[in-house]
Structure 1
């Protein structure tokens, strides 16, 4: 009955639907029914399921920010795995989330080659990114899943949050990229891409990264 009702629900871009009293087994069934190739994203917090459809501007921002991180990692010659909006969940904690972007960096080797992840045994992503145009981020879920670093882009600003004693603390320094002032740089190059074009922006960003590396 629940799946039938969910199939009938239309979620307009930028809107969300809350479904209460969803069991873990129902969540698993819903995720399987919705499939991987979908626009809508979910968050699950101890029985409450949220389904949200992002706005086009949300998708643009998250793609550019994610690609800037990939370019940075490539310039650093650092192995990484980008899992986008993969569903990360932990049954023992009854929580799950689908970030806008997610990266395994320090723990890349631990999940390399794995087709399925279970956060009851596997490490969480080293970095999760959320674009808050529709105020969708759930820091408490990321805290419970022990994601070390969470970026939140909201109202044209990038906020870097690092996990300390089980809770996020805003920081000027990234755990994964401590040598770069990314709060300013990511915002600057995202804005530049809107007017200057993607290719020119990424070329400029890579040059900036190279300069930072040379300066130590």
Structure 2
């Protein structure tokens, strides 16, 4: 199987699906793919997806991550962004690489760690997926216990919150940024960045956050 993985050359926006992949093979594939980290993986009970993001996915990931960081900075919340870190749990037979993720409430628990093990470490508090070409693997995030999942697709931001029964429920507000109407505002600022540029947009977004907090 490793020989086949070495031969895979995915163009942006494409994916390959492998079935009947056991955990040992999954671990070996992850190691084999370490030199090709332009790809993202998702593993769920023997089924492995390898996909290559489009340029617009990468742009959206960076901009939305910047918005999240500005919110956290203005709220004076310590955080740790871990990008497309591979999160996996052998007991659950699941693994995922989000487009980005953030430790916020549990930042201190993972501070300074080079490797994370979700059998003992907490999952990230927020995961972000920019989903242009393939389905988002909601069940994997549920299984790993990620409290909040943001999905941005076709101009729409969807926020899903983990419930006590272990399933997601879509909400109109983030649990981390409770009062902010982010599903409305973030798509607006993403569109603004397309015409006015990144720096001007970030300054405008920060000013909006500060004004919003002032009015609370």
Cα offsets for 1:166-203 (capped at 9, x unmatched): 11111011011102111111111111111110000000
Cα offsets for 1:69-106 (capped at 9, x unmatched): 01111111110000011000000000000001100011
Partner in structure 1 of residue 198 of structure 2:
198
Say if 1:184 and 1:17 are closer, same or farther in 2 by CA, change over 3 A: same
Unaligned runs of 5+ in 2: none
Secondary structure at 2:149 match in 1:
strand
Partner in structure 2 of residue 127 of structure 1:
126
Partner in structure 2 of residue 152 of structure 1:
151
Q: TM-score, normalised by structure 1?
A: 0.97
For the residues of structure 2 that align with 1:210 and 1:5, how far apart are their CA atoms? Answer: 52
Partner in structure 1 of residue 187 of structure 2:
187
Matches within 5 A, 1:109-124: 109-124=108-123
Secondary structure at 1:103 match in 2:
strand
Secondary structure at 1:102 match in 2:
strand
Secondary structure at 1:93 match in 2:
coil
Offset of 1:12 from its aligned partner? 1.5
Partner in structure 2 of residue 209 of structure 1:
209
For the residues of structure 2 that align with 1:106 and 1:186, how far apart are their CA atoms? Answer: 22
Q: 27-36 vs 6-15, which deviates more? A: 27-36
Unaligned runs of 5+ in 1: none
Structure 1 outlier segments of 4+, above 2 Å: none
For the residues of structure 2 that align with 1:130 and 1:36, how far apart are their CA atoms? Answer: 22
Offset of 1:133 from its aligned partner? 0.5
For the residues of structure 2 that align with 1:182 and 1:145, how far apart are their CA atoms? Answer: 25
For the residues of structure 2 that align with 1:63 and 1:36, how far apart are their CA atoms? Answer: 22
Count of aligned pairs: 215
Q: TM-score, normalised by structure 2?
A: 0.97
Offset of 1:135 from its aligned partner? 2.4
Partner in structure 2 of residue 91 of structure 1:
90
Say if 1:36 and 1:71 are closer, same or farther in 2 by CA, change over 3 A: farther
Q: 117-126 vs 179-188, which deviates more? A: 179-188
CA contact (8 A) 2:6 2:32 kept: no
Offset of 1:136 from its aligned partner? 3.5
Offset of 1:21 from its aligned partner? 1.1
Matches within 5 A, 1:1-216: 2-35=1-34, 38-164=37-163, 165-216=165-216
For the residues of structure 1 that align with 2:168 and 2:196, how far apart are their CA atoms? Answer: 34
